[in-house]
Structure 1
Amino acid sequence: MFLFLYLCHSVSAQIYYSIFEEMQKDSSIGNLVNDLGLNINEISLRKLRIVSEFSTKYFNVKTGNGHLVVADRIDREALCGAAEECFLTFDAVIENPLNIYHVRVDIKDINDNPPRFKYEIIEIKITEHTSPGVQFALRNAEDLDVGINSLQSYKLSANKHFVLGEKANTDLNTIPELVLMVPLDRETEGNLDIILTAFDGGNPMQTGTAIIRITVVDINDNIPKFDQEVYKVSINENIPMNSTILQVKASDKDEGINSQITYSFTTTSQHVTSTFAINSTNGEIKTKENLDFEMKKNYEISVQALDGGGLVSNVKVFIQILDENDNTPDITVTSITDTVSEDSAPNTVVALIKVHDLDSGENGEVDCQIIGTLPFKLQLSSGSFYKVVTTSRLDREIQSYYNITIQATDHGSPPLSFIKTIALNVSDINDNPPIFEKELFIVYLPENNQPGASIYTIQAMDKDTEENGKLTYSIISTEELPFNSYITINPVSGIVYAQQSFDFEQYKQFEVHIMAKDKGSPSLNSSAVIRICVTDQNDNLPTILYPSPDAGGSTAYEMVPFSSEQGSLVTKVVAVDADSGHNAWLSYHLLEDSETSYIVIDQNTGVIRTARIFQERHLLKHRAVVIVKDNGFPPLSATVTLNLIVTSNLQQALPELSNPSRKTDSQTNVQIYLVIAIAVISFFFLLTVMSVIISKYRESKSLSTFSSIAAYPQIDPSFFPTYNNGTLSLPYSYDVCVTLDPRETEVGFLQPNQHVAVKSLIDEDNLCVEKEMRKDSIVLHYSIVEEMRKDSIVTNIAQELGLHVKELVHRNLRIVSRVEKYFSVDLETGNLFVKDRIDRETLCRTETKISP
Structure 2
Amino acid sequence: MKTQKKFKGCKWQVTFLFLFSWLCHSVSGQLHYSIAEELGKDTVIANIVNDLGLDIKEVISRKFSIVSRVSEKYFSVNLENGNLYVKDRIDRERLCRTAPSCFLTFDAVAENPLNIFSVKIEIQDINDNPPVFFPEILTLEVVELTPPGTHLVLQNAEDPDIGINAVQSYRLSDNQYFRLNENINIDGSTILELVLEKHLDRETLNFHELILTASDGGNPVRTGTALIRIIVTDSNDNLPVFTQQVYKVSISESAPINSTVIIVTATDKDEGTNAQITYSISKISENFYTSIFNINPITGEITTKGNFNFEATEHYEMSVQAKDGGGLVAQSKVLIEIIDENDNAPEISIRSLSTPIPEDSAPGTLIALIEVHDQDSGENGEVDCQIIGPSPFQLLSSSSRYYKIVNTGSLDRELVPWYNITILATDRGSPQLSSIKYIKLDISDVNDNPPMFVKSTFVAYLPENNLPGASIYNIHASDPDAGDNAKIIYSISNINTEDFPVSPYFSINIETGVLYAQRSFDYEQHKEFQMKISAKDNGSPTLSSNVTLIIHIIDQNDNLPKILYPSTESGGSPIYEMVPFTSEQGSLITKVIAVDADSGHNSWLSYHFIQMSEPSPFSISQHTGEIRTSRIFQEKDNLKHKVVIMVKDNGDPSLSATVTLSIYVGDHFQKVVPKLNNQFNDGEPSSIMQNIYLVIALALISLLFIITVGLVIISKCKESKPPPEFPTLNTNLYSQFDPRMLSNYNNGTLSLPYSYNVCVALDSSESDFSFLKPNQNVPVENLIDADDSGLGNKSSKETLSAVEVSYSNRGMMK
Cα deviation for residue 472 of structure 1 reads 1.6
1:88 alignment counterpart: 104
The alpha-carbon distance between structure 1 residues 65 and 438, as it changes in their structure 2 partners (threshold 3 A), is: closer
Asked whether the equivalents of residues 17 and 105 of structure 1 are also in contact (C-alpha less than 8 Å), the reply is yes
More displaced, 113-122 or 509-518?
113-122
Structure 1 position 223, deviation (Å) = 7.3
Pairs within 5 Å for 1:78-227: 78-93=94-109, 101-113=117-129, 143-150=159-166, 166-169=183-186, 171-173=187-189, 175=191, 226-227=242-243
1:485·1:500 contact (CA, 8 Å) conserved in 2? no
Give the alignment of 1:709-748 within 5 angstroms: none
Structure 2 contact 563–657 (Cα < 8 Å) conserved: no
> Which residue of structure 1 lines up, in the alignment, with residue 89 of structure 2?
73
Look up the match of 1:514: 533
Mapped partners of 1:588, 1:257: distance in 2? 141
Match of 2:491 in 1: 473
Structure 1 contact 167–177 (Cα < 8 Å) conserved: no
- Counterparts of 1:695-714 in structure 2 under 5 Å? none
Identity of aligned residues (%): 49
User: Which residue in 2 is equivalent to 1:495?
Assistant: 515
Distance in 1 separating the partners of 2:272 and 2:340? 45
Of 310, 333, 336, the residue aligned with 1:319 is 336
1:526 is aligned, of 545, 551, 558, to 545
CA-CA distance at 1:481 after TM superposition: 3.2
State the match for 2:302 in structure 1: 285
Instruction: Compute the displacement of 1:72 (Å).
Output: 3.3
Q: Hey, what's the Cα distance between the residues in 1 that align with 2:541 and 2:55?
A: 40
Letter of the structure 2 residue corresponding to residue 531 of structure 1: I
Q: Which amino acid aligns with 1:286?
A: T
Q: Is the 8 A contact 2:142 2:233 kept in 1?
A: no
Distance 1:117 1:349, change over 3 A: same
Q: Which digits, 9 at most, give the CA deviation of each residue in 1:78-130, with x for residues without a partner? A: 21122122111234455677765443211112344566666776888898889
- Cα 1:369–1:160 shift into 2, 3 Å: same
Q: Tell me the amino acid that sits aligned with residue 471 of structure 1.
A: I
Change (3 A) 1:279 1:581: closer
| d(CA) in 1 for partners of 2:467, 2:215 | 114
C-alpha deviation, 1:440, in angstroms: 1.9
Contact kept in structure 1, 2:171 and 2:180, CA below 8 Å: no
Partners of 2:521 and 2:212 lie apart in 1 by: 124
Of 36, 42, 61, which residue of structure 2 is paired with 1:26?
Answer: 42
Other structure's SS at 1:18 match? strand
Q: Secondary structure at the match of 2:284?
A: coil
Question: Which residues of structure 1 form unaligned runs of 5+?
Answer: 545-566, 568-573, 590-599, 612-626, 645-659, 667-852
Who is 2:316 aligned against?
A: 299
Q: Determine if the alignment matches structure 1 residue 430 to structure 2 residue 450.
A: no
- Give the secondary-structure state (helix, strand or coil) at the position aligned to 2:49: helix
* Aligned pairs for 1:335-346 within 5 A: 335-336=352-353, 339-345=356-362
Residue deviations 1:185-224, cap 9 Å, x none? Answer: 7899999999988776656666778899999999999876
SS in structure 2 opposite 1:79? Answer: helix
| One-letter identity of the residue aligned with 1:470 | I
SS at match of 1:110: coil
Contact 1:349/1:388 (8 A) holds in 2: yes
**When the two structures are superposed, what TM-score results if normalisation uses the length of structure 1?**
0.53
Deviations 1:674-720 (A, max 9, x none): xxxxxxxxxxxxxxxxxxxxxxxxxxxxxxxxxxxxxxxxxxxxxxx
1:441 — aligned with what? Answer: 458
For residue 727 of structure 2, what is the aligned residue in structure 1?
Answer: none
Q: Is the 8 A contact 1:127 1:216 kept in 2?
A: no
CA distance in 2, matches of 1:528, 1:176: 103
Structure 2 match to 1:14: 30
Q: Is the 8 A contact 1:455 1:498 kept in 2?
A: no
Pair 1:476–1:39, CA change in 2 (3 A): farther
**Compared CA separation, residues 19 and 490, structure 1 to 2 (3 A):** same
- Where 1:60 maps in the other structure, the secondary structure is strand
- Contact 1:267 1:301 survives alignment (8 Å): no
CA drift of 1:437 comes to 3.4
Aligned-partner Cα distance in 2 for 1:282–1:322: 26
> Alpha carbons of 1:542 and 1:46: their partners in 2 closer, same or farther (altered >3 Å)?
same
Aligned residues: 635
1:124 to 1:364, Cα distance in 2 relative to 1, 3 A: farther
Aligned-pair Cα RMSD in Å? 7.1
2-structure distance, mates of 1:579, 1:217: 136
Quote how far apart the aligned CAs of 1:516 are: 2.0
Corresponding residue number in structure 2 for 1:737: none
* 2: CA distance, partners of 1:509 / 1:265: 104
Mark the CA change 1:576 to 1:33 in structure 2 (over 3 Å): closer, same or farther. same
Structure 1 counterpart of 2:451, one-letter code:
P
- Counterpart of 1:4 in structure 2 is 21
Question: 1: distance between equivalents of 2:318 and 2:431?
Answer: 33
Q: Secondary structure at the match of 2:545?
A: strand
C-alpha separation in 1, matches of 2:434 and 2:85: 37
Deviation at residue 77 of structure 1 after TM alignment: 2.0
Judged with a 3 Å threshold, the aligned counterparts in structure 2 of structure 1 residues 97 and 123 are, in CA distance, closer, same or farther, namely farther
Q: How far apart in 2 are the matches of 1:282 and 1:259?
A: 14
Long gaps (5+) in structure 2: 1-17, 565-585, 587-592, 609-618, 631-644, 659-745, 752-790, 798-814
CA apart distance, 1:151? 5.4
Counterpart residue type for residue 109 of structure 1 = D
CA deviation after TM superposition for structure 1 residue 413, in Å: 6.5
* Structure 2 CA distance for partners of 1:662 and 1:404, relative to 1, 3 Å: same
Question: Which residue in the other structure is 1:735 paired with?
Answer: none
Alignment partners' CA distance in 1, 2:144 and 2:396: 73
SS in 1 for 2:72: helix
2:72 is aligned with 1:56: yes
For the 8 Å contact 2:492–2:531, the answer to whether it is kept is no
Residue 325 of structure 1 and its aligned partner are, at CA, apart by: 5.4
Query: What are the superposed Cα offsets for residues 429-451 of structure 1, whole Å, 9 maximum, x if unpaired?
Result: 4333222232222345679x789
Quick one: which amino acid aligns to residue 233 of structure 1? V
Q: Who is 1:235 aligned against?
A: 251
Distance 1:369 1:531 in 2: 59
Structure 2 CA distance for partners of 1:433 and 1:251, relative to 1, 3 Å:
same
CA contact (8 A) 2:462 2:472 kept: no
Say whether the 8 Å CA contact 1:124–1:213 is kept in structure 2: no
- Per-residue CA deviation, residues 338-369 of structure 1 (Å, 9 max, x unaligned), is 65545445555565555545444555556666
Corresponding residue of 1:616: none
Matched to 2:250, the amino acid is S
2:20 counterpart SS class: coil
- AA paired with 2:454? E
SS for the counterpart of 2:19 is coil
**Deviations along 1:260-293, whole A, 9 cap, x unmatched?**
5555556834434654454454332234554443
Measured at CA, do residues 127 and 138 of structure 1 come closer, stay the same or move farther in structure 2, by a change above 3 Å? farther
- Tell me, what secondary structure is at the counterpart of 1:56? helix
Partner of 1:246: 262
Deviations, residues 794-836 of structure 1 (Å, cap 9, x unaligned): xxxxxxxxxxxxxxxxxxxxxxxxxxxxxxxxxxxxxxxxxxx
When residues 167 and 219 of structure 1 are mapped into structure 2, their CA distance, relative to the original with a 3 A threshold, is: farther
**1:18 to partner: Cα distance:** 1.0
CA contact (8 A) 1:125 1:311 kept: no
Q: Find the aligned partners of 2:324 and 2:191 in 1 and give their Cα distance.
A: 19
Q: 1:193 to 1:528 in 2, by over 3 A?
A: closer
Instruction: State how 1:635-714 maps to structure 2 within 5 Å.
Output: none
Q: Distance in 2 between matches of 1:451 and 1:262?
A: 106
Aligned AA (1:462): S
